[in-house]
Amino acid sequence: MRNGVIIDDRDNVVVAIYPLHAGDEVTYALPGGESGHVVANQDVPLFHKVARQDIKAGQAVVKYGEFIGQATCDIKAGDHVHVHNCASSDALKDAVDVDADVQNEAARPSAPVACARTFMGYRRSDGRVGIRNHVLILPTSICASDTTERIARAVEGCVTFHNQNGCSQVDADQQLTVDTLAGLASNPNIHSVLAVSLGCEGCQNDLVVDAIRKRTNKRIETLIIQQVGGSIKAVEEGTRLARELVREASLEARTECGIDELIFGTNCGGSDTSSGLGSNPLIGEVSDWMVSQGATTVLCETPELFGGEHILARRAATKEVGDQLLKIVYDYEAYVQKFGAEMREGNPSPGNMAGGLTTLEEKSLGCIHKAGHSTINAVYPYAAQLDAHKGLVVMDTPGNDPSSVGGIIAGGCQLVVFSTGLGTPTGNAIAPVLRLTANGRTAKTMADNIDFDAQATIYGPQTMEELRDQLIDQIIRVCNGEPTCAEALGYTETALPHLCNYM
């Protein structure tokens, strides 16, 4: 029975797809159809790595056909390979040769075909299409967040979130907050907006509303707590305004829209080896299909491109785009170093490592599979408005799940597909977050949070193409109104990023 997987013929490690005991024979398929074998020298947990051959101290450990770390001692064939004998390092980053043919083969530039699928969406006055019809009760600062929560709870059809920012910020940090709030408000899933401020914060109502109006012409109402006479009166007035907006939104009807009008977000969190092995490649197949239909798909989480940025840069449409992609990774590393820290601190997380991920490079190489094989056409700053019909693009976001998801939704993603190995409840108030896992144990134990069981990407019997089509069908059902698990649970956690500490 096959109980191991190699991803690339150049790999010198095998992934255990079942728990192994010392003395077990690890059997894995080779690219030519033959089987490879190695005997495990120790017990090896599920999704951890086994050396396929002897690896000398100082040599590169290779997975995905790429460098993932450096052996810190001699490793024998059959040894468990993990943090005790493998470490992240820049020393051998270019140790694995990739010839020009392989580099060019990675990207698949192609002209979009006629759009093959449709969904029923809401056509907005600014021309964009939403898949939800929410009224957003928008807190412009932390001081308005409790008030907006009370208003949203009082009126069905409203959504909100806690904004921890909005005051005591330096100018650049405040501008990032304003841009993010404006992006969330202008997302096409939002019918209209009630912007609520305290009245004395940095992110004044008029400042935020002006930024929203630069992106969209949807209806915006405003409320200032200090002007209406305090919190109770603000909730009363806000509830009245919210009911009016919801009544107006209820008159909107769904119309048939092409899948090419989607801006398709991708993300991952609570990752283990199954993410890079199964669920992220599946998302990549869906991403490639979306690109072929003329949609925009978005890869984000800049810290989790670290170690894989050179691979993505090979796929850039132009040298300028490739340079921009490399720059966001290098700038992120330089930013972290300002605090005397390194990118590898805290990444992979303890959960990532328990799930078999040894180094940040290994985690990143699994992460970038969400981008499929398409050409990368643009790199966007955090929360910048994303262009429709753009193909595959990258947004510069933190790796933190609620913050990265929030950034691409502020950019205009109507939906985010989110892979997880260990299970995570991440949702968002503005857009559905559809979660999938290729870890069968997680699919069972976290069933309340998992929308799509992708373990067949590793174990079969369905093919990757069959699973891709099943996931596309589910995405379209969500676009048509089917709630995701996060929506059903009411999970809307949102985190806005910081450039520096509060003043």
The answer to which of 25-39, 291-305, 336-350 has the lowest mean pLDDT is 336-350
pLDDT of residue 343: 79
- Give the pLDDT of residue 351: 85
Residue 79 has pLDDT above 80, yes or no: yes
- Fold for the domain defined by 4-101: 2.30.130
Q: Where in the chain is the domain with CATH 3.40.50.2300?
A: 122-249
Is 257:119 a contact under the CB 8 Å cutoff?
A: yes
Determine if the peptide bond prior to 432 is cis (ω within 30°). Answer: no
* pLDDT, tens digit, 9 for 90 and up, residues 305-333: 988 899 999 999 999 999 999 999 999 99
Q: Which candidate, 108, 118, 232, 76, places its Cα nearest to that of 480?
A: 118
Q: Which residues contact 14 (CB under 8 A, 6 or more apart)?
A: 4, 5, 6, 26, 28, 36, 38, 49, 50, 51, 52
What amino acid occupies position 461?
P
- Rounded to an integer, the average pLDDT of 276-286 is 96
Output phi, psi for 498, to 5 deg.
-120, 145
| Residue 498: predicted pLDDT | 86
**Mean pLDDT of the region 429-437:** 97
Question: What is this structure's pTM?
Answer: 0.93
Kindly tell me the number of DSSP H helices and DSSP E strands found in the chain: 17, 23
d(Cα 493, Cα 167) in Å, to the nearest integer?
Answer: 20
122-249 belongs to which CATH class? alpha beta
pLDDT at 103 over 50: no
* Mean pLDDT taken over the chain: 93
Return the pLDDT at 101.
Answer: 40
Of the listed ranges 37-46, 99-108, 384-393, 407-416, the one predicted with least confidence: 99-108
Mean per-residue pLDDT, 10-14: 95
Return residue ranges of the chain for CATH 2.30.130.110: 4-101
pLDDT digits (tens, 9 = 90+) for 209-249: 999 999 999 999 999 999 999 999 999 999 999 999 999 99
Rounded-to-integer distance, Cα 343 and Cα 332, Å: 8
Instruction: State yes or no: pLDDT of 139 exceeds 80.
Output: yes
Q: How far apart are alpha carbons 233 and 401 in whole angstroms? A: 35
- Which pLDDT band holds residue 12 (cuts at 50, 70, 90)? very high
Instruction: Output the pLDDT for position 501.
Output: 87
What percent of the chain clears pLDDT 90, i.e. is strictly above it? 84
Average of per-residue pLDDT across 357-380: 94
Rounded to an integer, the average pLDDT of 19-30 is 95
Report residue 348's pLDDT band, with 50, 70 and 90 as the boundaries: confident
Least confident of 55-59, 113-117, 280-284, 292-296: 113-117
The answer on pLDDT for 93 being more than 80 is no
**Strand pairing report for 80-81 and 296-299:** unpaired
| Pair of tokens at residue 35 | 């089987």
* Predicted local confidence at residue 96, as pLDDT: 54
Instruction: Say yes or no to pLDDT of 395 above 90.
Output: yes
Give the pLDDT confidence score for residue 107 in this predicted structure: 58
Taking a C-beta distance cutoff of 8 angstroms, is the pair 224, 266 a contact?
A: no
How large is the average pLDDT for residues 176-196? 98
Rounded distance between C-alpha atoms, residue 411 and residue 18, angstroms: 40
